[in-house]
Structure 1
Amino acid sequence: MSGNRNSGRRPLPGNVHLLRGNPSKKGAAEITGSAPAPKTEAPPCPSWLSKEAKAEWRRIVKDLVTLGLVAKIDRAELSVYCTAWADWKVAREKIAEMEEDGYVMSTPSGYKQMSVWMQVANRAEERMRAAGNSFGLNPSARAKLGASLPAQGELFPNEQAETARKYGL
Protein backbone atom coordinates (compact mmCIF):
# COMPACT_ATOMS: atom_id res chain seq x y z
CA MET A 1 0.00 0.00 0.00
CA SER A 2 1.35 3.43 -0.87
CA GLY A 3 0.21 5.18 2.26
CA ASN A 4 -2.81 6.31 4.18
CA ARG A 5 -4.18 9.52 5.59
CA ASN A 6 -1.50 9.44 8.33
CA SER A 7 1.39 9.39 5.84
CA GLY A 8 3.64 12.38 5.28
CA ARG A 9 3.98 15.62 7.11
CA ARG A 10 1.14 17.07 9.08
CA PRO A 11 -0.29 20.23 7.49
CA LEU A 12 0.64 23.53 9.10
CA PRO A 13 -2.06 25.61 10.76
CA GLY A 14 -3.21 28.46 8.52
CA ASN A 15 -1.75 31.22 10.70
CA VAL A 16 1.66 29.50 10.74
CA HIS A 17 1.52 29.04 6.97
CA LEU A 18 0.80 32.74 6.52
CA LEU A 19 3.59 33.68 8.96
CA ARG A 20 6.04 31.81 6.75
CA GLY A 21 5.11 34.02 3.83
CA ASN A 22 3.06 31.44 1.88
CA PRO A 23 6.02 29.91 -0.01
CA SER A 24 3.75 27.36 -1.70
CA LYS A 25 1.60 30.13 -3.21
CA LYS A 26 -1.58 28.46 -1.99
CA GLY A 27 -4.83 30.36 -2.06
CA ALA A 28 -6.53 31.46 1.16
CA ALA A 29 -9.09 28.63 0.91
CA GLU A 30 -6.34 26.02 0.59
CA ILE A 31 -4.38 27.44 3.53
CA THR A 32 -7.24 27.36 6.00
CA GLY A 33 -8.84 24.30 4.42
CA SER A 34 -11.54 22.67 6.49
CA ALA A 35 -9.64 23.15 9.73
CA PRO A 36 -11.33 25.54 12.13
CA ALA A 37 -9.39 28.71 12.82
CA PRO A 38 -9.97 29.74 16.42
CA LYS A 39 -9.84 33.42 17.26
CA THR A 40 -6.46 34.56 18.54
CA GLU A 41 -6.90 35.62 22.15
CA ALA A 42 -5.35 35.00 25.52
CA PRO A 43 -6.82 32.09 27.44
CA PRO A 44 -7.66 32.81 31.08
CA CYS A 45 -4.91 31.85 33.51
CA PRO A 46 -5.96 28.85 35.63
CA SER A 47 -6.28 29.69 39.32
CA TRP A 48 -4.62 26.43 40.39
CA LEU A 49 -1.24 27.25 38.82
CA SER A 50 1.61 27.88 41.24
CA LYS A 51 3.05 31.36 41.71
CA GLU A 52 5.99 30.57 39.41
CA ALA A 53 3.74 29.06 36.73
CA LYS A 54 1.46 32.12 36.80
CA ALA A 55 4.48 34.40 36.41
CA GLU A 56 5.56 32.43 33.32
CA TRP A 57 1.99 32.58 31.99
CA ARG A 58 1.94 36.38 32.31
CA ARG A 59 5.39 36.64 30.73
CA ILE A 60 4.56 34.69 27.60
CA VAL A 61 0.85 35.03 26.78
CA LYS A 62 0.97 38.59 25.45
CA ASP A 63 3.67 37.73 22.91
CA LEU A 64 1.87 34.55 21.83
CA VAL A 65 -1.29 36.57 21.21
CA THR A 66 0.65 39.19 19.27
CA LEU A 67 2.17 36.48 17.07
CA GLY A 68 -1.25 34.85 16.61
CA LEU A 69 -0.06 31.53 18.05
CA VAL A 70 -2.52 31.06 20.92
CA ALA A 71 -6.29 30.87 21.36
CA LYS A 72 -8.59 30.23 24.31
CA ILE A 73 -8.71 26.52 23.50
CA ASP A 74 -4.93 26.29 24.02
CA ARG A 75 -5.30 26.82 27.77
CA ALA A 76 -4.43 23.22 28.70
CA GLU A 77 -1.28 23.05 26.56
CA LEU A 78 -0.11 26.41 27.87
CA SER A 79 -0.85 25.25 31.43
CA VAL A 80 1.32 22.17 30.87
CA TYR A 81 4.16 24.37 29.64
CA CYS A 82 3.91 26.83 32.55
CA THR A 83 3.63 24.04 35.15
CA ALA A 84 6.66 22.27 33.66
CA TRP A 85 8.56 25.57 33.77
CA ALA A 86 7.72 26.02 37.45
CA ASP A 87 8.71 22.43 38.29
CA TRP A 88 11.98 22.81 36.39
CA LYS A 89 12.78 26.09 38.16
CA VAL A 90 12.16 24.61 41.63
CA ALA A 91 14.30 21.54 40.84
CA ARG A 92 17.16 23.65 39.47
CA GLU A 93 17.07 25.88 42.55
CA LYS A 94 17.29 22.79 44.80
CA ILE A 95 20.21 21.44 42.76
CA ALA A 96 22.04 24.77 43.06
CA GLU A 97 21.35 24.85 46.80
CA MET A 98 22.74 21.34 47.27
CA GLU A 99 25.81 22.05 45.10
CA GLU A 100 27.60 18.77 44.17
CA ASP A 101 25.06 16.60 46.02
CA GLY A 102 22.35 18.04 43.77
CA TYR A 103 23.69 16.14 40.76
CA VAL A 104 24.77 12.75 42.11
CA MET A 105 23.70 10.86 45.21
CA SER A 106 24.78 7.59 46.80
CA THR A 107 22.37 4.73 47.29
CA PRO A 108 22.30 2.86 50.63
CA SER A 109 24.50 0.18 49.03
CA GLY A 110 27.11 2.77 48.03
CA TYR A 111 26.40 3.09 44.32
CA LYS A 112 26.32 6.52 42.70
CA GLN A 113 23.21 7.57 40.80
CA MET A 114 21.59 10.70 39.46
CA SER A 115 19.95 12.66 42.26
CA VAL A 116 16.19 12.81 42.62
CA TRP A 117 16.22 16.57 41.97
CA MET A 118 18.18 16.06 38.77
CA GLN A 119 15.62 13.48 37.64
CA VAL A 120 12.77 15.89 38.42
CA ALA A 121 14.53 18.67 36.49
CA ASN A 122 15.12 16.43 33.46
CA ARG A 123 11.51 15.24 33.32
CA ALA A 124 10.18 18.77 33.72
CA GLU A 125 12.50 19.92 30.94
CA GLU A 126 11.15 17.20 28.63
CA ARG A 127 7.56 18.27 29.38
CA MET A 128 8.47 21.92 28.91
CA ARG A 129 10.10 21.25 25.53
CA ALA A 130 7.22 19.12 24.27
CA ALA A 131 4.55 21.67 25.22
CA GLY A 132 6.71 24.60 24.11
CA ASN A 133 7.05 23.13 20.62
CA SER A 134 3.34 23.78 20.12
CA PHE A 135 3.92 27.50 20.48
CA GLY A 136 7.37 27.88 18.91
CA LEU A 137 9.01 28.49 22.29
CA ASN A 138 12.45 27.14 21.40
CA PRO A 139 14.83 27.68 18.48
CA SER A 140 14.08 24.40 16.70
CA ALA A 141 10.32 24.94 16.97
CA ARG A 142 10.74 28.46 15.55
CA ALA A 143 12.83 27.01 12.72
CA LYS A 144 9.99 24.61 11.93
CA LEU A 145 7.63 27.58 11.81
CA GLY A 146 10.13 29.11 9.40
CA ALA A 147 8.54 32.48 9.81
CA SER A 148 10.29 35.06 7.73
CA LEU A 149 8.96 38.54 7.63
CA PRO A 150 9.75 40.51 4.49
CA ALA A 151 12.00 43.50 5.04
CA GLN A 152 9.83 46.53 4.42
CA GLY A 153 9.90 50.08 5.60
CA GLU A 154 7.08 50.70 8.04
CA LEU A 155 5.23 53.96 8.38
CA PHE A 156 3.45 53.00 11.58
CA PRO A 157 4.47 50.92 14.60
CA ASN A 158 3.80 47.24 14.02
CA GLU A 159 3.54 45.34 17.30
CA GLN A 160 3.32 41.93 15.61
CA ALA A 161 6.48 42.53 13.57
CA GLU A 162 8.34 43.81 16.64
CA THR A 163 7.40 40.72 18.65
CA ALA A 164 8.38 38.45 15.74
CA ARG A 165 11.79 40.15 15.56
CA LYS A 166 12.16 39.76 19.33
CA TYR A 167 11.87 35.97 18.94
CA GLY A 168 13.98 35.81 15.79
CA LEU A 169 11.10 34.97 13.45
Structure 2
Amino acid sequence: MSVSYISSKRYLLLWVFLGCLSFAGVVRAETIPFSICYEDIENIPYYYGEGTEIPENKPGLYVDMINLVSQRLKLNIVIHRAPWARCLKQLELNRVDGVVAASFKPERAKYSHYPMRLGELDVERRIVNKSYCRASTTLSGCVNHLGRF
Protein backbone atom coordinates (compact mmCIF):
# COMPACT_ATOMS: atom_id res chain seq x y z
CA MET A 1 0.00 0.00 0.00
CA SER A 2 1.17 3.49 -0.74
CA VAL A 3 1.60 6.18 1.90
CA SER A 4 -0.94 8.44 0.18
CA TYR A 5 -3.58 5.67 0.29
CA ILE A 6 -3.06 5.19 4.04
CA SER A 7 -3.12 8.95 4.65
CA SER A 8 -6.34 9.40 2.68
CA LYS A 9 -7.90 6.45 4.49
CA ARG A 10 -6.96 7.98 7.88
CA TYR A 11 -8.27 11.34 6.70
CA LEU A 12 -11.59 9.74 5.71
CA LEU A 13 -11.83 7.89 9.04
CA LEU A 14 -11.13 11.12 10.90
CA TRP A 15 -13.98 12.87 9.06
CA VAL A 16 -16.36 9.96 9.66
CA PHE A 17 -15.44 9.98 13.36
CA LEU A 18 -15.93 13.75 13.64
CA GLY A 19 -19.21 13.47 11.77
CA CYS A 20 -20.42 10.80 14.18
CA LEU A 21 -19.43 12.94 17.15
CA SER A 22 -21.29 15.97 15.83
CA PHE A 23 -24.35 13.84 15.05
CA ALA A 24 -24.21 12.30 18.53
CA GLY A 25 -24.24 15.81 19.98
CA VAL A 26 -27.39 16.67 18.02
CA VAL A 27 -29.15 13.47 19.01
CA ARG A 28 -28.15 13.97 22.64
CA ALA A 29 -29.48 17.54 22.63
CA GLU A 30 -32.84 16.30 21.42
CA THR A 31 -33.08 13.50 23.98
CA ILE A 32 -32.17 15.49 27.10
CA PRO A 33 -35.52 16.76 28.39
CA PHE A 34 -36.02 20.39 29.31
CA SER A 35 -38.56 20.29 32.14
CA ILE A 36 -41.11 22.99 32.77
CA CYS A 37 -43.56 23.22 35.66
CA TYR A 38 -46.75 25.25 35.81
CA GLU A 39 -49.47 25.77 38.36
CA ASP A 40 -52.17 23.14 38.81
CA ILE A 41 -54.94 25.74 39.19
CA GLU A 42 -56.77 27.04 36.13
CA ASN A 43 -55.82 30.54 34.95
CA ILE A 44 -57.81 31.23 31.77
CA PRO A 45 -56.69 31.89 29.00
CA TYR A 46 -53.11 31.03 30.00
CA TYR A 47 -53.82 27.48 31.18
CA TYR A 48 -56.98 25.47 31.57
CA GLY A 49 -58.00 22.63 33.83
CA GLU A 50 -57.31 21.74 37.45
CA GLY A 51 -54.92 19.19 38.92
CA THR A 52 -51.86 17.51 37.48
CA GLU A 53 -53.37 16.50 34.12
CA ILE A 54 -52.72 18.75 31.11
CA PRO A 55 -55.89 19.07 29.00
CA GLU A 56 -55.32 17.71 25.48
CA ASN A 57 -57.89 19.78 23.59
CA LYS A 58 -57.50 23.19 25.21
CA PRO A 59 -54.39 23.39 27.42
CA GLY A 60 -54.03 27.19 27.27
CA LEU A 61 -51.83 29.84 25.67
CA TYR A 62 -48.68 29.08 27.67
CA VAL A 63 -48.79 25.36 26.94
CA ASP A 64 -49.51 26.06 23.26
CA MET A 65 -46.50 28.40 23.10
CA ILE A 66 -44.23 25.85 24.80
CA ASN A 67 -45.36 23.13 22.40
CA LEU A 68 -44.76 25.41 19.41
CA VAL A 69 -41.23 26.22 20.58
CA SER A 70 -40.60 22.52 21.20
CA GLN A 71 -41.71 21.58 17.69
CA ARG A 72 -39.93 24.41 15.87
CA LEU A 73 -36.63 23.99 17.70
CA LYS A 74 -36.92 20.19 17.92
CA LEU A 75 -36.52 20.25 21.69
CA ASN A 76 -37.67 17.60 24.13
CA ILE A 77 -39.70 19.76 26.52
CA VAL A 78 -41.49 17.94 29.32
CA ILE A 79 -44.33 19.88 30.95
CA HIS A 80 -45.92 19.00 34.25
CA ARG A 81 -48.28 20.65 36.71
CA ALA A 82 -47.92 21.03 40.44
CA PRO A 83 -48.99 23.42 43.19
CA TRP A 84 -47.37 26.84 42.69
CA ALA A 85 -45.07 26.64 45.73
CA ARG A 86 -43.87 23.19 44.64
CA CYS A 87 -43.04 24.46 41.13
CA LEU A 88 -40.94 27.24 42.64
CA LYS A 89 -39.24 24.88 45.10
CA GLN A 90 -38.43 22.44 42.29
CA LEU A 91 -36.84 25.31 40.36
CA GLU A 92 -34.85 26.38 43.40
CA LEU A 93 -33.61 22.80 43.91
CA ASN A 94 -32.75 22.53 40.19
CA ARG A 95 -35.28 19.73 39.64
CA VAL A 96 -37.01 21.63 36.83
CA ASP A 97 -35.50 23.94 34.24
CA GLY A 98 -38.28 26.51 34.19
CA VAL A 99 -41.53 27.67 35.73
CA VAL A 100 -44.30 29.22 33.65
CA ALA A 101 -45.53 32.70 34.64
CA ALA A 102 -43.07 33.29 37.47
CA SER A 103 -42.97 37.07 37.74
CA PHE A 104 -39.73 38.75 38.72
CA LYS A 105 -39.01 38.93 42.42
CA PRO A 106 -35.56 39.56 43.89
CA GLU A 107 -35.73 36.40 46.04
CA ARG A 108 -36.54 34.30 42.93
CA ALA A 109 -33.68 35.88 41.01
CA LYS A 110 -31.26 34.16 43.40
CA TYR A 111 -32.06 30.79 41.80
CA SER A 112 -33.67 31.80 38.47
CA HIS A 113 -32.72 33.59 35.29
CA TYR A 114 -34.78 36.47 33.94
CA PRO A 115 -34.20 38.46 30.75
CA MET A 116 -31.92 41.34 31.65
CA ARG A 117 -30.55 44.34 29.76
CA LEU A 118 -27.70 46.40 31.20
CA GLY A 119 -28.27 44.94 34.66
CA GLU A 120 -31.98 45.75 34.69
CA LEU A 121 -35.01 43.55 34.08
CA ASP A 122 -35.82 43.63 30.34
CA VAL A 123 -39.58 44.24 30.43
CA GLU A 124 -39.73 44.27 26.62
CA ARG A 125 -39.12 40.50 26.61
CA ARG A 126 -41.97 39.57 28.93
CA ILE A 127 -44.78 37.50 27.49
CA VAL A 128 -47.64 39.21 29.27
CA ASN A 129 -48.25 42.18 31.54
CA LYS A 130 -50.73 41.26 34.25
CA SER A 131 -51.92 43.37 37.16
CA TYR A 132 -54.83 43.53 39.54
CA CYS A 133 -57.90 45.77 39.33
CA ARG A 134 -58.24 47.80 42.49
CA ALA A 135 -61.55 48.40 44.24
CA SER A 136 -61.27 52.09 43.31
CA THR A 137 -60.99 51.25 39.58
CA THR A 138 -64.14 51.26 37.47
CA LEU A 139 -65.15 48.09 35.65
CA SER A 140 -64.50 49.76 32.28
CA GLY A 141 -61.01 50.73 33.48
CA CYS A 142 -60.30 47.09 34.40
CA VAL A 143 -61.59 45.82 31.07
CA ASN A 144 -59.51 48.39 29.17
CA HIS A 145 -56.45 47.49 31.20
CA LEU A 146 -56.86 43.75 30.65
CA GLY A 147 -57.27 44.30 26.92
CA ARG A 148 -53.64 45.49 26.65
CA PHE A 149 -51.95 42.10 27.07
TM-score by length of 1: 0.26
Q: Which has the higher helix share?
A: 1
Q: Which structure exhibits the higher relative contact order, with contacts defined as CA atoms closer than 8 Å and separated by 6 or more residues? A: 1
Q: Rg: which structure is higher?
A: 2
